[in-house]
Amino acid sequence: MKTDKLEQFILENRSGFDDLEAPVDLWPKIEKELAPERTTVGLAKIFWKAAAVVVIFVSSYYFHDFMDNSMADNAGLANEQQTESYKSLVEAEMYYSSEIKFKKQELFQLTANTPLLQKNINAELSNLDDIFIKLKEDLNDNADNGEVIEAMIQNYRIKLDILEEMLQQIKVKNAKNNHHDKIHNAI
């Protein structure tokens, strides 16, 4: 087993480190210098905490109400089936947007030293964004909403699949490089 120089030095000079001990009355002196803990809670502090909780609940209620109204205004779809498909689009958009953002950040962290690869990734994702914009225009034209919504969700899936595949390939490549470096350093 290999030991580094610091560890070797400590092992060889251990007796030199063990000759000093702390004075017996050191800890009581430290305790006297410490400030006593405050155990009282002010009434104003409790009031502000309660007010913050009330503000959070009221604002979340109005936000929820606003979102319900804006979805109803934006979803000018004719029947119940179209409304359900529009709601599924909104849910899918929220889910996939957050997943895509997370995967893209992770991918860009792993490829920080290869700006050309990042540029190519952005170009591919930009192409998918252009297709999505066209699909959104079709949805606004009310052209067969069910198929357009399904195509929009499929666009999100493709984008997420591309990012996941790239992440997987880069992680495999990095693992191989790390394994190669370990073998090289062992030699």
In this prediction, residues 58-85 reach a mean pLDDT of: 67
What pLDDT, on the 0 to 100 scale, is given for residue 125? 80
- 83-131 pLDDT, tens digit each: 677 777 788 888 888 888 888 888 788 777 888 877 887 888 888 788 8
Mean pLDDT, the chain, integer = 77
What pLDDT, on the 0 to 100 scale, is given for residue 77? 42
Of 70 and 113, which is predicted with more confidence?
113
Answer whether 138's CB lies under 8 Å from 155's CB.
Answer: no
Is the dihedral angle over the CA atoms 89, 90, 94, 95 positive or is it negative?
A: negative
Other CB atoms within 10 A of residue 159 CB: 23
CA–CA gap between residue 129 and residue 187 (Å, rounded): 49
Q: Is the pLDDT of residue 81 over 60?
A: no
Domain ranges of the chain: 40-74, 81-187
Answer whether 159's CB lies under 8 Å from 125's CB.
Answer: yes
Nearest to 84 by CA among 145, 34, 143: 145
Among 20-24, 74-78, 80-84, 122-126, the range with the most confident prediction by mean pLDDT is 122-126
Of 4 and 2, which is predicted with more confidence?
4
pTM of the model: 0.47
CA–CA gap between residue 70 and residue 87 (Å, rounded): 12
Residues 6+ apart with CB under 8 A from 93: 152, 156
Q: Is the pLDDT of residue 2 over 80?
A: no
- 168-177 pLDDT, tens digit each: 888 888 777 7
What pLDDT, on the 0 to 100 scale, is given for residue 70? 65
What pLDDT, on the 0 to 100 scale, is given for residue 75? 52
Nearest to 162 by CA among 134, 102, 121: 121
In this prediction, residues 48-54 reach a mean pLDDT of: 84
What pLDDT, on the 0 to 100 scale, is given for residue 78? 47
In this prediction, residues 5-23 reach a mean pLDDT of: 80
In this prediction, residues 156-163 reach a mean pLDDT of: 84
